[in-house]
Structure 1
Amino acid sequence: MKLSNVLVVEDHPAHFQLLQKLLEKIGVTGITRAGDGEEACHKMEAAEAPFKLIISDMKMPKMSGLEFADRVRQDKRHYNVPFILVTAESDTDVIIAAKEHGVTAFLSKPFSVERFKERIELALSADSD
């Protein structure tokens, strides 16, 4: 997979490192980390070019993944960027809420490398429709 310029929003450094390794394993480069939704909003504003993909944790300090998804969908440069929400929650209400907040794809923890790659491909193909 050739993909560069990805924003990963994750408050736990160890979880970010895992996501980063998985992304690198499938060929993704140019990975930017934000520790919470507020920091991610600042990184989106400062970015020279819009991110090509955003991967965000659901539960974070200051702003939830759903609140951050709302902010992304209101941003002039990032409103149509594929957005993957990663969470340990997988009940139907959470999935429905994620879709209502503009989340492109949903990834339940724990997941395999294959499932991770599949969700990324799904999110990117949804963007090209």
Structure 2
Amino acid sequence: MSKIKVLVVDDARFIRERVASMVRNAFPDSSVDAFENGRDAMKSMQARQYDIILCDWEMPQMSGLELLQWTRTRPEYNTVPFLMVTSRGEREYVLKAIQAGVNDYLGKPFTSEQLVQKIVKALGKGGRLSPEQQERAAKLLQEDGGRKEPTAKSMPKPKGLAQLRCSNQTFKCAIKDLNLREVKVVIKNEWVFPVLLDQVVVDIEQLSGDAVARLNGFVLSVQATEARQDSPYVEVRVQFADDDPEKMAHLSKYIASVR
């Protein structure tokens, strides 16, 4: 095969562009089409044939699962590799995708290396990649191999767990540092972030499972933990705005317990 035809489906423009860029970088002779929902992707699939489909789960008009189910009813797409690229990693979602005929699953956030590995694995099985394409992909993976993801040993031990509640999103996070004035937390990079200066509520979880008094504050800064666009984690600094003596007393006890 001289030219790989790839279909990327994701309602987030940044993710679509990022995935398309990763594919073109690993496979320069590839042809990539990208759409923001399953319905538009389905129309394109009826007009042309693709060699692999990289699809998000939650999208407007037609979800990734619905597109997958439709794909498996089409003779021309019955065996075409379908890779679900999503933050939905819960067991029930994985099982639904497997039952519908998904070939593989890639959780967000992901690195270029992880995506290329999945593509090579999927296309290599059916002989859809030429030796030259496999060689280039292998070289790219070798180059990316030097950029290791942070490990548990290299990451500082968190001072607890928390939930960061913003106006329209809740983030599960690990506490990096904490005092009576502010908290630094780390969240997974899923390409959705707290807004700078946005009002937030921080719920700190005790080891016993009980929650510390909810603390009001605002976002002081949002920053990647690594100097790379696909940094797996993001640090969020929150300034507390509470003067409630009872809340401060609870917080002081918690800080003392984790020092």
TM-score by length of 2: 0.46
How many Å apart are 1:96 and its aligned residue? 1.3
- 97-106 or 114-123, larger mean C-alpha shift: 114-123
Change (3 A) 1:42 1:52: same
How many Å apart are 1:126 and its aligned residue? 4.5
Q: Residue 31 of structure 1 corresponds to which residue in structure 2?
A: 32
Q: What residue identity is the alignment partner of 1:60?
A: M
* CA distance in 1 between partners of 2:96 and 2:122 (Å): 17
Change (3 A) 1:35 1:73: same
Q: Deviations over 1:64-84 (max 9, x none)?
A: 111110011111211111000
Change (3 A) 1:126 1:66: farther
* CA distance in 1 between partners of 2:26 and 2:104 (Å): 18
Q: What residue identity is the alignment partner of 2:40?
A: E
Stretches of structure 2 that go unaligned for 5 or more consecutive residues are 128-259
Q: Deviations over 1:35-89 (max 9, x none)?
A: 2111111101111xx2100111111001111111001111121111100001112
Q: Residue 95 of structure 2 corresponds to which residue in structure 1?
A: 96
Q: Secondary structure of 1:74's partner?
A: coil
Q: What residue identity is the alignment partner of 1:80?
A: T
Q: Residue 45 of structure 1 corresponds to which residue in structure 2?
A: 46
Q: Secondary structure of 1:77's partner?
A: helix
Q: Secondary structure of 2:32's partner?
A: strand
- Asked if structure 2 preserves the Cα contact closer than 8 Å seen for 1:58 and 1:87, the reply is yes
* CA distance in 2 between partners of 1:123 and 1:95 (Å): 17
- Structural RMSD (CA): 1.5
TM-score by length of 1: 0.89
How many Å apart are 1:125 and its aligned residue? 3.7
**Within-5 A mapping of 1:1-129:** 4-28=4-28, 29-47=30-48, 50-127=49-126
Q: Secondary structure of 2:7's partner?
A: strand
Q: Secondary structure of 1:22's partner?
A: helix
Percent of aligned pairs with the same residue? 28
How many Å apart are 1:122 and its aligned residue? 2.2
Structure with higher RCO (Cα < 8 A, 6+ apart):
1
* CA distance in 2 between partners of 1:71 and 1:126 (Å): 23
Q: Secondary structure of 1:69's partner?
A: helix
Q: Secondary structure of 1:33's partner?
A: strand
How many Å apart are 1:101 and its aligned residue? 1.0
How many Å apart are 1:109 and its aligned residue? 0.4
Structure with greater helix percent = 1
Runs of 4+ in structure 1 off by over 3 angstroms are 125-128
- Asked if structure 2 preserves the Cα contact closer than 8 Å seen for 1:82 and 1:127, the reply is no
Change (3 A) 1:126 1:95: farther
- Asked if structure 2 preserves the Cα contact closer than 8 Å seen for 1:55 and 1:84, the reply is yes
